[in-house]
Each structure stands twice: as C-alpha cells, then as structure tokens.
Amino acid sequence: MRWRLQNEIFLRSEFSYNEKCAVINTKPSLGIGKWIPRSCNDTNGFICQKAVDPNIHDSPEPESPTNYIKLLNDSIKLVAQQMTWDAAKKNCEADAANLASVRTQWTQVYIELLALNLNRPLWIGLNKAQTNSYFRYIEGWPLKFTFWGENEPRRDGTCVYVDVDGKWKTGNCSQNISSVCMRSTDTPPKADTKDYPGDCPEDPDPIRPLRHYSWKPFRGFCYIFFSEMKEWPDAATSCVAHGGRLASISDPFEQEFIQSNIGTFQDSHTSYWLGLFKTHKGQWMWLDQTVMDYSNWNLGQPSYHTYGMISALDGTWHTGNQRSDRPYICKTAKVLLPKPSPSPYVALVSHNRSHIALAVLLIAGIAVGAGIAFALFKKSGHHLPIPGRLAIFDNPLFSNKRSDLLDSKNLVENAD
C-alpha cells in the first residue's frame, strides 16, 4: 500500500507490520484529531469524499466580522491579518470577542489546524504582563492544561502564540503575526477568595519514628525544607515517604513564600531541588502534575540538564545534574482533621436529657394529682387514717367499738 500525504499528524511515528489503516482519534487522553494506526479489519465510523463538480462554482466566503465557527460553547474566528498582540486584542474586542482562551482539547486541535493550514503562528489570549507575571487567560480563565514547546515558557517570553506544529511558544508582544478571536457563552470564574481550611499532617520520620518534622502551612498546602543533601531521584523518593511530592511553584505568591524560607539558609545551601523535570519530548513539567502556568527561570535557563532547582540567593530557577547532591523541598496538601467527639459523660448526659425532663414532668403530674385528690377527700368530711395508729374503722372485729379492744393484748386475743 502506498501512502501519499500532504500533512501527517500521526500519534505514533510509524505503522506496525499489521496496521495498514488509520482512524482519527476523538479521545482527549490520546490527543483529539491525531491519527492512530489500526488494522483494516477493525470496525469504525467513516468519512466519504468525492470530487467537486467543475460546473458548480464555489460561492465566495463572506468576509463579515461575524464569520465565527461554533465549537461547543465557543465561537472561533481566524484573523489572518498580522498585527502585534495588543493590536490583535483590540481587534477582537471591537468584534465583541477576546483573544482565544484554549480551555478544551477540541479548541486546541481546531486552532492547531488553523495554524497548520495558514502556515503561520497565531496569537492567543495569554500575556503574563497583564496577569500578575504568570500565565492566565486575560479573560479570567486559569490554565487547565498546556501545550508548551521545548524549553517553554521562557523567562523573557511574555505573549503566547500557537505555532504551526501546535505547540505554545512565548514571544515578543510587538511581533506582527495572525491571531484567533473567540466568543463564549461560558463565564470565567471569580477571583480566588478561599480561606484554605485544613491543617498540616503529622510527619514522623519513616526510618526514625521518634523524630518528627514540622510542616509549614501556606494557603492550601504544607512544606518541609530539608537540609540533608540528596540526588534528585532520592529527594523525590524521600518526599513520597513523608506523604508529599517535591515542591511545585504555581504562581508568584508561592514563589515568594518558598524564596523567603530558603533565603535565610543561603550561606549554607545555594540551591534546593524542586519537583521540576524535562520529559523526553523536551517539555518541562511538575512532578505533582501542577499546570505549568508560571516560571522564574534565570537568564540563559533552562539548559540541557533534566531537573530543576531554585536558587536560595535570588529565587531564580536553574537546571542541574541529577547526580548532584542538594537539599530539597517537599509539599503536600492540607488535611481536614475530624471534629473531636464529646466525652462519654457528656454524651450520656446529652442522651438522657430528654428522659430526665420526662421524669420531672411525670413527678410534677403525680404531685398535682395527689393534691387534687386530697382536697376532694377533705371536702367530703372523711378523715384520713393517721400513720402509726390502728386502723379499726372498717375491721369487722371492732364493730362494737369497745374501748378495751384498744389494748393491743386484748386485740390479739379477740382476734384469736
């Protein structure tokens, strides 16, 4: 079988011996729109194509500014005119839109195809100069995933474009390139106002149980700054043993917290390992899967090394050899501790409180009833027997009411 392809978007580099057909993937986990080799005996949906009748002329495509393509809750429009990032942003706003926020895999694939067909890079709505020095869509959306190119995002890169290979790259905002506008029915989330509940967990040493380490809280996470020297893989293993991961840094606030804590030890330790590593594709990632929307690389970084560290002197990031021993920083999420249960005595009192109240009401009812009975009996003219005296009134032995029967001895004899 002979393949003649103008553009190749294979998920894998080549077909295996038994896989001579291809399908277009629709699963986000495998890369939407990628071509996957399959056996020709598999059953799948299909797409038909036929030649266009030369007698039918294409109608000219409208050049209206409302020429948007609907994609889920978003509508996307390609702007082929090349302009700076700021000019592209104003152009979209004049059309009641914004520079695109790539929030779904479908949007990424569509913009990737636009760039591929146009054979030009395209501005999107990322400019860290307008979002507190880290990458967040100017419309207010956080980054849920990224498609950074090799060694991106760069320290001196401010605005982001999608290149013809689909990768995100940072560049000078004054460059003149094409762009993508977007309208959406979705509403961006409000600013983060969380109070970050929870506490730092107990952390006994897994090797020496009597030794405990102190986690330092910051927002929703806790951190340990270890001074013992380890290689990067051993430091990563140590953090897992302590219930965390090598630390990630997600924004300037977390950067400032970590930098202030290690700055006091800069005389003894010049740098600390972070959970930053480079994949075999050249993409930098965090070990705990934090989205790479912030970076603080030093000038000329990252270099060819595979692992990342933070300088105790100025907080900038560098790359290092995994064989180098350095101190390291662990990070874990706060935990919500269970509320203390009441003591058994308190629980018993609480449990029996209703029974005690019922008993009090019952006694009060009996007392009131006795008082009413006593008043009625007294009103009838009868006298109640006096305790301690013989009750002789209704005894048949005393019907004659003789006074001598009042003697106890005579009473016993008479009774006999």
Mean pLDDT of 142-155: 91
How far apart, in whole angstroms, are the C-alpha atoms of residue 124 and residue 244? Answer: 35
Token pair 């889920």: residue: 72
Mean pLDDT of 229-240: 96
Which of the four pLDDT bands, split at 50, 70 and 90, describes residue 346? very low
Which of the four pLDDT bands, split at 50, 70 and 90, describes residue 31? low
Strand pairing partners for 379? none
Stated pTM of the model: 0.63
How far apart, in whole angstroms, are the C-alpha atoms of residue 238 and residue 232? Answer: 10
* Predicted local confidence at residue 258, as pLDDT: 96
Pull the structure tokens for residue 78.
């390609």
Sequence-distant (6+) residues with CB within 8 A of 237 are none
Mean pLDDT of 275-282: 93
Max mean pLDDT among 100-104, 337-341, 346-350 falls in 100-104
310 vs 379, residue with greater confidence: 310
* Predicted local confidence at residue 45, as pLDDT: 74
Share of the chain above pLDDT 90, in %: 52
Sequence-distant (6+) residues with CB within 8 A of 219 are 194, 196, 253, 254
How far apart, in whole angstroms, are the C-alpha atoms of residue 304 and residue 119? Answer: 29
Cβ-contact 179, 122 below 8 angstroms: yes
Cβ-contact 227, 327 below 8 angstroms: yes
Cβ-contact 325, 309 below 8 angstroms: no
Which of the four pLDDT bands, split at 50, 70 and 90, describes residue 355? low
pLDDT tens readout for residues 184-226: 999 988 766 567 889 998 776 666 665 667 899 999 999 999 9
353 vs 202, residue with greater confidence: 202
Assign 286 to helix, strand or coil. Answer: strand
Which of the four pLDDT bands, split at 50, 70 and 90, describes residue 58? low
Indicate if the pLDDT at residue 386 is higher than 70. Answer: no
Pull the structure tokens for residue 228.
């013992």
How many Cβ atoms are within 10 Å of 29's Cβ, its own excluded? 7
Token pair 């989205």: residue: 291
Which of the four pLDDT bands, split at 50, 70 and 90, describes residue 19? low
How far apart, in whole angstroms, are the C-alpha atoms of residue 405 and residue 326? Answer: 113
How many Cβ atoms are within 10 Å of 107's Cβ, its own excluded? 21
* Predicted local confidence at residue 38, as pLDDT: 78
Query: Residue 159's closest CA among 127, 134, 129?
Result: 127
